[in-house]
Amino acid sequence: MGLKSYISSPYIKHQYEWDEIITSYRIFENDKPLNIEIGPGKGKSLLNLGDRFPEKNFVGMEKTPRCLKEFRRKAEKKRLSNIFVFHCFIEKMLEANVTDNSIENFIVFFPDPWPKKKHRKRRFLRKKGLSLLETKLKKNGKIFIKTDFMDYWVEILGTIRELRGLFLESFGKVKSWQSPFNVPTNYEQKYYRMGKEPFYLVVQKI
Ligand SMILES: C[S@@+](CC[C@H](N)C(=O)[O-])C[C@H]1O[C@@H](n2cnc3c(N)ncnc32)[C@H](O)[C@@H]1O
């Protein structure tokens, strides 16, 4: 499946229109630390992070046009200067357009859980995806993760222990996570309304 539609906005660029390396200078014309949110959906967390950390830049990577249209509406209203989204496939963009050791932090809030056993190999935060994030992180850079799927959370905990370059800094229930990176997301609010209790992990590159 490809990325068929093009969504026009100063805050969004399609992966097929961009063949450069992603840097703060090229996107924002400054040298603030670059953070990437994987699958920001409609962008609630991205907009909150941009607002909360004016000293950092935030780039989202999202494939779903419906979500991007909603993000565009909110971003053009809020007019932050430190947020941007690529309409792309995460894996393709990270591999081709992000330099190793260049990202301050990754944010991965509520990645697709692929609950059926036969689909679990499609989960992004398995060995391959986590190793890719590790490669792109700066030394001491972090991955902030939230999920409502306990099974996925437990799987990630196990994988981190197997990866030599990553260290588990903290984990637990989202309600007890004291961090300025703990901003609400659309899915999180939906899960709370359903009575679910999401979990978080903070992982650091050694
Ligand atoms: C469960 S939603 C969570 C959205 C948002 N983080 C939130 O918490 O509200 C997962 C998001 O990841 C995006 N996504 C999943 N796989 C992707 C991929 N390979 N490339 C780009 N985006 C992807 C989906 O389109 C979706 O918007």
* Three-class SS state of 84: strand
Against a cut of 0.75, is the pTM above it? yes
Closest C-alpha to 43, from 146, 174, 186, 144:
186
Q: Identify which of 38, 71, 124, 186 to mutate to test ligand 1's pocket (most ligand atoms within 8 A of the CB).
A: 38
Ligand 1 touching residue 186 (CB < 6 A):
yes
Ligand 1 touching residue 67 (CB < 6 A):
yes
Instruction: Judge contact between 70 and 42, C-beta under 8 A.
Output: yes
Query: For position 1, what pLDDT does the model report?
Result: 55
Query: For position 178, what pLDDT does the model report?
Result: 97
Q: What CATH number has the domain spanning 12-205?
A: 3.40.50.150
Ligand 1 touching residue 97 (CB < 6 A):
no
Query: For position 2, what pLDDT does the model report?
Result: 63
Query: For position 51, what pLDDT does the model report?
Result: 98
By CB neighbour count within 10 A (0-12 exposed, 13-18 middle, 19+ buried), where does 142 fall?
buried
Low-confidence residues in the chain, pLDDT < 70 = 1-2
Residue whose CA is at the smallest distance from ligand 1 atom 3: 110
Taking residue 58's Cβ as centre, other Cβ atoms within 10 Å add up to: 30
Ligand 1 touching residue 147 (CB < 6 A):
no
Closest C-alpha to 21, from 34, 11, 32, 9:
34
**What residues does each domain of the chain span?**
12-205
- Ligand 1: atom nearest CA of 190 is 9
Whether 148 is a known active-site residue: answer no
CA distance 27 to 95: 18
What's the 112 CA to ligand 1 centre distance in angstroms? 6
Query: For position 52, what pLDDT does the model report?
Result: 98
Query: For position 105, what pLDDT does the model report?
Result: 98
Query: For position 150, what pLDDT does the model report?
Result: 95
